[in-house]
Structure 1
């Protein structure tokens, strides 16, 4: 499909990842004319910004895009990077997606005038599906380091890194998995920890994700939580689906030679300085994991489920002292696993709060006809993932249909326009 400069399209979806494709599927089912603008190609986010051994941390059975549930031979396994790309490409081929690839939206103005790298179009309604991982976030301390450094989105495999020891900063999902990848390859790894929690892979006979799904956790709307902002911006629990799935236990890595530190504080260009909070960070991660097990135990007891007993986790290593400095001599590279920031600077419509976050209710903004899809915790835990984006896409498209019929939704309220 080609984009025609000056054309008017009833609905424009910006972004051709899983959120944009799910929205397109529902628009197609409703018979609504639309176009999907994709800056690169379908699956490029997974293909170009994930390392070689990357795999999902949620089981394959949770991959359930609209009209395209996972039907492979390993529902309890975890798709690796190239399989994820293939899943999205197959989804794209499963229905007639009106997508234009290689075209980036560069400006969205009032009246839904959309400037792109291939011309300007207008729309009655716009769905922003650009995802949460747009601009790599680096701390200012990175400017003062003279060693080679890269963001986690640029990491591919241990062989791309220069000789020497490697410092990984950040213990979210990416940081822990990259540290493990390097550790398994025999590299000496230094890991600066943070406050990210962890979760067990399996407990009492099932994947913990399966237990939480049964317990209704993944269908719980964010408005049911007392601390909405804390939930929306919290760091994901670290765990892995590698080799069939397992825990990531930083204490075990320490026993095997990985060197753990507290939070990175500062540098004088010769050495790095860390906070004295390593033990606290490890204890916090373990406490969250054990708390999840407590909730599973309570659910099993309440429902009378016959599940095998399992001994609780016991720490295999304790820091006897917390190293507070690390010489940069011998460090071959630093990998920053410090997350991403949204980049909505191209959007000139006032739908953002003081922090630059889109103000919305389930993706419906205060600007009639403008929507977001694929935001983390847009409505539920699964909103930004394969498991829950289908429900969000259906909700947004239902609102699009209603608005076209004369019903305007604003901040969760609606009125019929005569």
Structure 2
């Protein structure tokens, strides 16, 4: 006789900070649930970050439910080991019902409206599915990588740990978002010769007129702005994050200054053929665009200071310290000195395990504040799920609270806590 699958009212897929935040609020309301995590709780911070990684937002913005930052440096930036410790303490505090090392392989809707959940350790049935696995699943490495010589070591940003990991020689970093810019800086500070293929990522100042820019923006209400309030609406979810760093107490990342110190900058890497790397002629346009964003944010802060009558030291707009010369659109690999490539061009989502009509043509979920048009399916931990902080420690707890309120109503708010056997 086939055993009847166990019933779990709420299944949470993913045991990072988003899934743990959902668990916290479910436990607060006495709602039985189970987290499935294919690795270990919050593992990506320990296993997919480089050694000098640190937060780019101040520690005071770390506000997981019931677990705000309470360390000695609220205006500082937690380093990798500190982040791991902060999350380990959160896991201990939540004490979630979690099955680590268990992958969810398929979720399908049943005729009775419940969900069949297939996992690597067996099946169960659920009323609600909360997808808390984030949106960064499959590292993007372009097909041109297959044509590079085997002598060139290639890794993705999630595999990079430190400069010593790469062979001697010069390094090509592809992509200038947060990871690309910070990894390029890490290699540059270690004395490695870096070639950086620059994309269209914007940048912002670390400090301006006496305060951290994040603090100014918080005072201006930027982090409370929702997707619906943003001029780009849903399009803001496709924006690339601004590059800046919290390293060594926090500072700007200025690619132009790196260029004056020997880093070689190019436009977007478009192809590798006939022994040469081919770059788009967009370097000047990208650098100018990043600086416009930088100065634009500062100008908005200037306006806020003036309107509120705040006493703050004056600061001039940024002016370029370097300008690109004749664009380099082709570089012969042989003789360039490049022995390794770090691909920093992001990830694609992979929700193939979820059989539900909730995705757009790009494979991204369609939702409002994480709630989809399919009853019982919700998402959390995605960038701009509701506000800028939705994918970060700052607002994921609020998103989880809202999500769990919706789930509680769907399960029946007046019912006693649902019981089940783990």
- Bucket of the pairwise TM-score, normalised by the shorter protein: over 0.9
Q: How does 1:52-131 map to 2 (within 5 A)?
A: 52-110=51-109, 111-131=114-134
Cα distance in structure 1, aligned partners of 2:116 and 2:412: 22
Asked whether the equivalents of residues 5 and 118 of structure 1 are also in contact (C-alpha less than 8 Å), the reply is: no
Asked whether the equivalents of residues 5 and 120 of structure 1 are also in contact (C-alpha less than 8 Å), the reply is: no
Number of the residue aligned with 1:141: 144
TM-score, normalised to structure 2, is 0.93
1:289 equivalenced with 2:294 (yes/no): yes
Unaligned runs of 5+ in 1: 408-418
Q: How does 1:9-20 map to 2 (within 5 A)?
A: 9-20=8-19
Over aligned residue pairs, what C-alpha RMSD do you find? 1.4
Which moved further from structure 2: 294-303 or 138-147? Answer: 138-147
Cα distance in structure 2, aligned partners of 1:140 and 1:270: 15
Q: Residue 107 of structure 2: SS of its match in structure 1?
A: strand
Per-residue deviation, 1:405: 2.4
Pick aligned residue for 2:402 from 391, 395, 405: 395
Number of the residue aligned with 2:308: 303
Number of the residue aligned with 2:37: 38
Number of the residue aligned with 2:344: 337
Asked whether the equivalents of residues 144 and 269 of structure 1 are also in contact (C-alpha less than 8 Å), the reply is: no
Cα distance in structure 2, aligned partners of 1:270 and 1:107: 43
Per-residue deviation, 1:36: 1.1
Cα distance in structure 2, aligned partners of 1:340 and 1:198: 20
1:182 equivalenced with 2:187 (yes/no): yes
Cα distance in structure 2, aligned partners of 1:156 and 1:144: 25
TM-score, normalised to structure 1, is 0.94
The number of equivalent residue pairs is 404
Q: Residue 183 of structure 2: SS of its match in structure 1?
A: helix
Q: How does 1:123-272 map to 2 (within 5 A)?
A: 123-146=126-149, 147-272=152-277
Asked whether the equivalents of residues 203 and 310 of structure 1 are also in contact (C-alpha less than 8 Å), the reply is: yes
Which moved further from structure 2: 89-98 or 223-232? Answer: 223-232
Asked whether the equivalents of residues 145 and 269 of structure 1 are also in contact (C-alpha less than 8 Å), the reply is: no
Number of the residue aligned with 2:420: none
1:321 equivalenced with 2:321 (yes/no): no
Per-residue deviation, 1:321: 1.9
Per-residue deviation, 1:250: 0.3
Which moved further from structure 2: 126-135 or 262-271? Answer: 262-271
Asked whether the equivalents of residues 109 and 348 of structure 1 are also in contact (C-alpha less than 8 Å), the reply is: yes
Q: Residue 399 of structure 2: SS of its match in structure 1?
A: helix
Superposed CA deviations along residues 316-364 of structure 1, whole A, max 9, x for unmatched, are: 1111222112221221111110000110011112211222111111001
Unaligned runs of 5+ in 2: 415-422
Per-residue deviation, 1:269: 4.5
Q: How does 1:397-412 map to 2 (within 5 A)?
A: 397-405=404-412
Per-residue deviation, 1:5: 8.6
Cα distance in structure 1, aligned partners of 2:198 and 2:168: 23
Cα distance in structure 1, aligned partners of 2:368 and 2:199: 31
Asked whether the equivalents of residues 27 and 33 of structure 1 are also in contact (C-alpha less than 8 Å), the reply is: yes
Q: Residue 37 of structure 1: SS of its match in structure 2?
A: strand
Which moved further from structure 2: 138-147 or 67-76? Answer: 138-147
Number of the residue aligned with 1:410: none
